Amino acid sequence: MVGCGDVSIVHLQAIEKLADVELVGVCDTDQATRTAAAERYGVPEFAGHHEMIEAVRPDAVHICTPHHQHVPVAIDCLDAGVAVLVEKPVGHTLAEADRLLAAARLHPHVKVGVCLQNRYNTATRTAHNLLRSGQLGAIRGGSATVFWHRDAAYYRARPWRGRVRDSGGGVLINQAIHTVDLMEWLIGDVASARGHAGRYALVGIVDVEDTAHLLLDHTNGARSVVFATVTNVTDSPVTIEIVTERAVLLIRGDLTVSYADGRIETVAEPVVSTGGRAYWGASHELLIADFYRTLADPDPFWIGPDEGIKSLRVISQIYQPQGRTTD
Ligand SMILES: NC(=O)c1ccc[n+]([C@@H]2O[C@H](COP(=O)([O-])OP(=O)(O)OC[C@H]3O[C@@H](n4cnc5c(N)ncnc54)[C@H](O)[C@@H]3O)[C@@H](O)[C@H]2O)c1
């Protein structure tokens, strides 16, 4: 484990549940953080990932560091022949993510997974299967909302989250990236994106955006919109609604499919305790189990950097200086 902060708890709990996976070391640049994790799990602690890789020769490394520390650590792991499971986003900039993509191509036999765990949610998997089955007809378009709450305390607790230099951005790259990924995975590849990212509630506290909207043109002709903000008073469930020729699919935790003939089907999302925050979703464990289940397979992990970079490409179109307005 590299980076033993908030999200690492979910990864560590998932690893603990896997009978054939053993945690062999933890690494964090912050001494108190790494010592707490090492003591809790009874494993050696390291201040740097080079030292850890050298000492314990892991089969895989989980990268749960701030965004700007994803790619440098991942490339070092790949160069050492160690598989990586990197938290979203792949990198804090598109250029960094491209560097990882190139490194992964140089090491085709070393696995790279990207933690976009919401693709494993029961509702999204069912929706994906239905949309690909052809029984709903053509996809016309869709909409999504991310109405979450991140106040000054959230950014003060982890200042990197509020600094473009370290995080690459705010609500888009940090929170809504999951939803942008799902819109693309469910509706189809995105050909172009327009939109706006701005800062409304956190002026003077962060230099990242807290609110953004996107208009997506998908290659199959469908169009969709995403509105995301962390200025909401609470963490509302993410909503995704997709209109097809023969039905409307609504994901809001559960999946509801309303057919043209009046039938309504609901698929419930199981409630799972992950050790993390409920709004992170319930599927980290499923993704991590799948990553290890397929670790020895010759094929790349299905959510590799080439998949993970897609949502970053979309977001980066909004982050381009001419498209980006803050304050
Ligand atoms: N998939 C999800 O739903 C989800 C949810 C929350 C966070 N995340 C992602 O997880 C990552 C970490 O987020 P967090 O909230 O846990 O952050 P955090 O700040 O709580 O933890 C990051 C830890 O990494 C350590 N660190 C920094 N640079 C390091 C380096 N070079 N080597 C080793 N340790 C280093 C820090 O000291 C800190 O303890 C981010 O990419 C974030 O976007 C994903």
Residue 272 CA, ligand 1 centroid: distance in Å: 22
Of 288, 290, 284, 254, the residue nearest 272 (C-alpha)? 284
Residue 327 confidence (pLDDT) above 50 = no
Q: Is 48 helix (H, G, I), strand (E, B) or coil?
A: coil
pLDDT score recorded for residue 280: 65
Distance from the alpha carbon of residue 274 to the mean position of ligand 1, in angstroms: 17
User: Ligand 1: which atom is nearest the Cα of residue 6?
Assistant: 16
For the Cβ of 9 lying below 6 angstroms from any atom of ligand 1, the answer is no
DSSP letter at 301 equals P
Helix (H, G, I), strand (E, B) or coil at 38: helix
Distances (CA, A) of 182 to 107, 179, 221, 226, 238: 28, 5, 17, 11, 11
Q: How far apart are CA 50 and CA 52, in angstroms?
A: 5
pLDDT above 70 covers a percentage of the chain that reads 95
Position 320 pLDDT exceeds 80: no
Q: How do residues 257-302 score in pLDDT, each as one tens digit?
A: 999 999 999 999 988 775 666 666 679 999 999 999 999 999 999 9
**pLDDT at position 20 over 50:** yes
The answer, yes or no, to whether any atom of ligand 1 lies below 6 A from the CB of 172, is no
Task: List, in order, residues 6 or more apart from 94 with CB less than 8 Å away.
Answer: 309, 312, 313, 316
Name the residue of 1, 2, 28, 93 to mutate for ligand 1: max ligand atoms within 8 A of Cβ. Answer: 28
Give the residue, by CA position, lying nearest to ligand 1 atom 36: 3
Question: Which atom of ligand 1 lies at the shortest distance from residue 174's CA?
Answer: 43
With contact defined as beta carbons under 8 Å apart, do 32 and 39 qualify?
no
Q: What is the pLDDT of residues 192-248, one digit of tens each?
A: 999 999 999 988 899 999 999 999 999 999 999 999 999 999 999 999 999 999 999
Atom of ligand 1 nearest to the CA of 34: 39
Counting from 1 in the atom list of ligand 1, the atom nearest the Cα of 117 is: 1
Residue 287 Cβ contacting ligand 1 at under 6 Å: no
117-126, 169-178, 181-190, 271-280: segment of lowest average pLDDT: 271-280
**Angle between helix 49-56 and helix 70-79 axes, rounded to 10 deg:** 30
Ligand 1 neighbour 171 (Cβ under 6 A): no
Is there an atom of ligand 1 within 6 Å of 303 CB? Answer: no
pLDDT of residue 326 exceeding 70: no
Q: Report yes or no: 270 and 121 within 8 Å, Cβ to Cβ.
A: no
Q: Tell me the pLDDT tens digit for each residue of 34-93.
A: 999 999 999 999 999 999 999 999 999 999 999 999 999 999 999 999 999 999 999 999
Nearest CA to ligand 1 atom 30: 29
Instruction: Name every residue whose Cβ is closer than 8 Å to that of residue 239 and which is 6 or more positions away in sequence.
Output: 143, 144, 145, 250, 251, 252
CA distances to 26, 60, 178, 247, 283 from 10, in Å: 14, 16, 17, 35, 10
Residue 130, classed as helix, strand or coil, is helix
Residue 288 β-bridge partners: none
pTM for this predicted structure: 0.96
Are 271 and 122 in contact by the 8 Å Cβ rule? The answer is no
With a 6 A CB cut-off, is 305 part of the ligand 1 pocket? no
DSSP string, 221-261: S-EEEEEEESBSSS-PPPEEEEEESSEEEEEESEEEEEETT
